Structure 1
Amino acid sequence: MNHLFKEISITNFRGFDSLIIKGLQRINIFVGANNVGKTSILEAAFMLSGMSNPLISNRVNYLRTASFTNLDSARYLFHNVDFNNKPLLKGMMNNGGIRKMTFSPVTIHNETNASSNFSTNQSAIRQLNFEFDQQENKNGFAYHSTLFVKNDGSTQQEADSNYHESLNALFIPVDKNDANATTNFSTLVKHNRKAFVTNALHDFDPSIESVEALPDGLYLKIVGLKELLPISMAGDGVRRMINILSTIASEDYNIVFIDEIDNGMHYSAHKLMWKTILKFVLAHDIQLFITTHNLDCLMGLKNAMQEEEHFRQLTHIYNIAKTRNEGYQAYCYGYSELKEAIDNEIEIRR
Structure 2
Amino acid sequence: MLSNLTIKNYRCFEDFHIDSLEQVNLFVGNNNSGKTSLLEAIYLLINLHDKEQTLIEIIYNRNRDFISNKHFYYQITNLFNRYQPNKSRIKANLDCRKIILDFSIKAGVQINLSFETREQGDNADFRFKEQIPLMNNYCLEVQFTDINNDLWIRKEISPYILVYKNNLSFTQMLYMWDKIDLTNKERKIIKALNIIENKLERISFSTLEGYNQVKLKIINEEAPISISNMGEGMYCLLTLALSLVTAENGVLLVDEIETGLHYKAQTDMWRLILETAKELNVQVFATTHSWDCITTFQEALSQVEDRSIGKLFRLDSKYDKLRAVEYSAEDLEIAVEEGIEVR
TM-score by length of 1: 0.80
* Equivalent residue for 2:290, pick from 283, 294, 317: 294
In structure 2, relative to structure 1, the CA distance for the partners of 1:135 and 1:113 (3 Å cut) is farther
User: What is the distance in 2 between the residues matched to 1:257 and 1:233?
Assistant: 27
User: What is the distance in 2 between the residues matched to 1:209 and 1:247?
Assistant: 20
2:49 pairs with 1:47: no
**2:116 maps to which residue?**
131
User: What is the distance in 1 between the residues matched to 2:187 and 2:296?
Assistant: 25
User: What is the distance in 2 between the residues matched to 1:279 and 1:112?
Assistant: 56
**1:305 maps to which residue?**
301
**1:344 maps to which residue?**
338
* Equivalent residue for 2:25, pick from 6, 21, 28: 28
User: What is the distance in 2 between the residues matched to 1:310 and 1:64?
Assistant: 38
How many Å apart are 1:205 and its aligned residue? 4.3
In structure 2, relative to structure 1, the CA distance for the partners of 1:183 and 1:54 (3 Å cut) is closer
RMSD: 2.8
In structure 2, relative to structure 1, the CA distance for the partners of 1:135 and 1:250 (3 Å cut) is closer
User: What is the distance in 1 between the residues matched to 2:309 and 2:193?
Assistant: 21
1:282 partner SS? helix
In structure 2, relative to structure 1, the CA distance for the partners of 1:155 and 1:222 (3 Å cut) is closer
**2:253 maps to which residue?**
257
Q: Quick one: which amino acid aligns to residue 213 of structure 1?
A: F
1:316-335 counterparts in 2 under 5 A?
A: 316-324=311-319, 327-335=321-329
Q: Which string of whole-angstrom CA distances, capped at 9 and with x for unpartnered residues, describes residues 229-285 of structure 1? A: 211111222211101212333464511111111001111111111111112212211
Which is further off, 214-223 or 56-65? 214-223
2:243 pairs with 1:247: yes
User: What is the distance in 1 between the residues matched to 2:111 and 2:182?
Assistant: 42
Q: Quick one: which amino acid aligns to residue 18 of structure 2?
A: I
1:185-334 counterparts in 2 under 5 A?
A: 185-189=177-181, 193-202=185-194, 205-215=197-207, 216-250=212-246, 252=248, 254-306=250-302, 308-310=303-305, 312-324=307-319, 327-334=321-328
**2:80 maps to which residue?**
78
How many Å apart are 1:183 and its aligned residue? 4.0
User: What is the distance in 2 between the residues matched to 1:154 and 1:72?
Assistant: 7
How many Å apart are 1:73 and its aligned residue? 3.2
**2:148 maps to which residue?**
none
How many Å apart are 1:225 and its aligned residue? 3.7
Q: Quick one: which amino acid aligns to residue 100 of structure 2?
A: T
User: What is the distance in 1 between the residues matched to 2:249 and 2:342?
Assistant: 30
Which is further off, 187-196 or 59-68? 187-196
**Conserved? CA contact 1:71–1:127, under 8 Å:** no
User: What is the distance in 1 between the residues matched to 2:34 and 2:134?
Assistant: 29
**Conserved? CA contact 1:13–1:77, under 8 Å:** yes
How many Å apart are 1:181 and its aligned residue? 2.6
2:286 partner SS? strand
**1:89 maps to which residue?**
90
Q: Quick one: which amino acid aligns to residue 239 of structure 2?
A: N
In structure 2, relative to structure 1, the CA distance for the partners of 1:340 and 1:17 (3 Å cut) is same
User: What is the distance in 2 between the residues matched to 1:220 and 1:73?
Assistant: 43
Q: Quick one: which amino acid aligns to residue 214 of structure 1?
A: S
2:131 pairs with 1:146: yes
Structure 1: give runs of 5+ residues left out of the alignment: 115-124, 157-166
**2:150 maps to which residue?**
none
1:339 partner SS? helix
In structure 2, relative to structure 1, the CA distance for the partners of 1:281 and 1:217 (3 Å cut) is same
**1:100 maps to which residue?**
98
1:163-202 counterparts in 2 under 5 A?
A: 168-177=159-168, 179=170, 180-189=172-181, 193-202=185-194
1:54-73 counterparts in 2 under 5 A?
A: 54-66=52-64, 67=66, 70=72, 72-73=74-75
The percent of aligned pairs where both chains have the same amino acid is 24
User: What is the distance in 2 between the residues matched to 1:146 and 1:222?
Assistant: 52
How many Å apart are 1:200 and its aligned residue? 3.5
**1:118 maps to which residue?**
none
1:65 partner SS? helix
In structure 2, relative to structure 1, the CA distance for the partners of 1:77 and 1:208 (3 Å cut) is same
**1:13 maps to which residue?**
10
How many Å apart are 1:194 and its aligned residue? 2.5
**Between Structure 1 and Structure 2, how many residues are aligned?**
312
**Conserved? CA contact 1:58–1:73, under 8 Å:** no
User: What is the distance in 2 between the residues matched to 1:192 and 1:302?
Assistant: 28
In structure 2, relative to structure 1, the CA distance for the partners of 1:236 and 1:154 (3 Å cut) is closer
